[in-house]
Amino acid sequence: MSSGQQQNKWFYKCWYACCFLFVLVFVVLAFFNHPHSDDYLLGYFRASKNFWQLQRELYMTWQGRYFTNLLIPGWVGFSLQQNLYWLHPLFLLLASFLALRDLVKQWANANQLSLAKGPLFFISSLLLLTMIFTMPSVQEGYYWLTGALAYQPGFILLLLIVSLYFRMASLPPQKRRGYLWLAVFLSVLLAGSIEIVLLIALLLLLYWWCFVNRRDLRKEMLVITAVVLLGSLITMFAPGTLNRTASMSGGWLAAFVSFAYWPLKAITSVAAQPVFWATCMVAFVLGATFKSSDQVVETDRRSWIALLLLPMLALLPILLVSSGSLPLRVLNVVTQSWVLLLVAFSFRMGTSTSLPSQSLKIFFTARWILPLLVVTSMLAGGYFRNLLQGYFYDQVMLRNESLLKASGGKDASMEREYKKAVANVYQQVSPALQKNLVWDTVQDVPELIGDYTDFENFNGQGPIALYYQSVYR
């Protein structure tokens, strides 16, 4: 084994160890996770109504997201009743990784690039970690059930459809039919998921027809475009969507002013992470490496500006409807899309750049900083601090949920103030410890998973009380 192969072997071992560390922390935090008010509200609806009655009410009154309406209430009800609130973060993490892995693999195949299992895992996991670390809110992206399942599955569907496009692009027309039907099915689900993903998908389709428009793929893309457009009409013009839109007083001035703020917030969230710049550098050098190996990637650089602006442009219709207000989970989708496009752009720039061999040697030495960046990003993002805070948060929430079950949602003995609630647990766990550095850390709610607002305002009414009264009375 050459020295270069030996270095690669040790690098991948180090990278696998860092990925394992991240997954371990992520999983532990998932088991410290607990339901929020919206989860309880949907759990109450699921417990008090039959399935199809609930679907009709959601579509006619609340929103037209038919796929989301099918997915979330059933999952919420099962998760609350079976104490499986840890399941959805792990499912979303695994599904996101597998979708990214397939996207990278099919993109490489479509461009006649060869990726072994080691580099494929490295690139896919690096992209996933970068997307998570640049998220404005990991809690709303993965841990809060209602918010996470409303947005992240739609984004995963978008990744899978793009992956199927690259798969079809690398096959002759007679072998595409099965993949086209799968793309149609996923497009139906995507159109019924969430508006920001649907808008990005529509803009991507518009981009394809304006800038790509491959003659041999027009038939397949016409079918997919028609399905997405039809599904978007069903979603956007549903009675529930129209009612919800009418209740939000749209303001053009507020929307345009906020259109300057929210994209800047997304850019700041992405640009502030050193791991993002490192990922772009990896993509750039890989592009130069593939070029130096006489493997050509055919892309049109003239259209890249339009492509990079698509996620930001998708925000404008939402801001017009919402008078400029925007939940961070919407911005999560924008930043994830933007990260992928910027990394792809970095690769494209690399393919048009000639790097001397000495620069490549420096890069392959400097790549050892990547595992370190993962650990430092976890430190800066509060992952290790949230582990400690999460244990005490879990104990507080378990006690509250036990009291609510025993009283049928009417218990008034819960401690409303979080610091007092966690102090009771803290004294039981470590009675010899007074208010020291550990206490200064654990007295706060873990921001990656926790939210105690609903219990601070608990008054025996509202979604939490309704759920426990309907299920445990």
Per-residue pLDDT, averaged over 115-144, amounts to 95
Position 268 pLDDT exceeds 70:
yes
Residues 134-150 have a mean pLDDT of: 95
pLDDT band, very low/low/confident/very high, at 176 (cuts 50, 70, 90): very high
Average pLDDT (233-259) is 77
- CA 107 to chain CA centroid, Å, is 21
pLDDT-derived band at 414 (thresholds 50, 70, 90) equals confident
What pLDDT shows up at residue 293?
46
- Give pLDDT tens digits for 190-202: 999 999 999 999 9
pLDDT value for 456: 81
Quote the pLDDT of residue 246: 72
pLDDT score recorded for residue 333: 96
- Whether 251 shows a pLDDT value over 70: the answer reads no
pLDDT at 349 over 70: yes
User: Is the model's pLDDT at 249 over the cut of 90?
Assistant: no
Residue 344: pLDDT band (50, 70, 90) is very high
DSSP 414: S
Task: List b or e across 176-211, with b for residues whose CB sees 16 or more CB atoms inside 10 angstroms.
Answer: beebbeebbebbbbbbbbbbbbbbbbbbbbebbeee
Token representation of residue 189: 């689900």
Whether the pLDDT of residue 124 is over 70: the answer is: yes
pLDDT at 62 over 70: yes
What pLDDT shows up at residue 1?
55
Q: Yes or no: say if 376 and 274 are a contact pair by the CB < 8 Å rule.
A: yes
Q: Please check whether residue 114 is in contact with residue 188, taking contact to mean a CB–CB distance below 8 angstroms.
A: no
Single pTM value for the model = 0.94
Task: Dig out the tokens for 456 from the structure.
Answer: 């601070």
pLDDT score for 296: 39
Q: Which comes out higher in pLDDT, residue 6 or 139?
A: 139
| Residue 290 pLDDT exceeds 80 | no
At residue 368, does pLDDT exceed 90?
Answer: no
Structure tokens at 448: 């990656």
* Choice between 89 and 77, residue whose per-residue pLDDT is larger: 89
134 close to 270: Cβ distance less than 8 angstroms? yes
User: pLDDT for 295-332, tens place per residue?
Assistant: 434 455 667 888 888 998 999 888 888 777 789 999 99
pLDDT value at 46 more than 90: no
Q: Which two tokens stand for residue 253?
A: 């001035």
* Range of lowest pLDDT (215-219, 224-228, 283-287, 456-460): 456-460
Packing angle of the helix pair 87-110, 66-81 (nearest 10 deg):
140
| Cα(431)–Cα(447) distance, integer angstroms | 26
What Rg do the C-alpha atoms of the chain give, in angstroms?
Answer: 24
